[in-house]
Amino acid sequence: MLAGQYPTEGKKVLDLLLAMDVKVQMPDGLVCCGGPLMWVGDRKQAEKAFETNIDILISAGVEQVITPCPGVWAYT
C-alpha cells in the first residue's frame, strides 16, 4: 500500500514507530484505500477496495491504523 506509492515516507514512518517500540503489523494483500476511485466516481471499485482492506485488517487483528497518507486518513 504505502510502500508502493510512497516508499520513502513509508520507511520513515516505520523507522519512527519501531524506534518508539510500537508493535507494527503490515498484513499482506492491502490495497489502495479506494479514496481516489471514489473521487473519480467509481464507487463500486472504491467500496471493493475498502472492504478488502477491512477484511484483511480484521483478520490480522489490527486495532489501529497509522498512515502518513492524507488520502487514507481522510477516506477512513
Q: How far is CA 58 from the centre of its chain?
A: 13
- Work out the percent of the chain whose per-residue pLDDT is above 90: 43
pLDDT tens digits for 66-75? 877 777 766 6
pLDDT number for residue 3: 59
Counting DSSP H helices and E strands in the chain, the numbers are 5, 0
Q: How far is CA 35 from CA 16, 44, 60, in A?
A: 26, 12, 22
Domain spans in the chain, listed from the N-terminal domain onward:
2-75
pLDDT tens digits for 17-37? 999 999 998 899 988 888 889
Q: What is the pTM of this model?
A: 0.76
Residue 10 has pLDDT above 90, yes or no: no
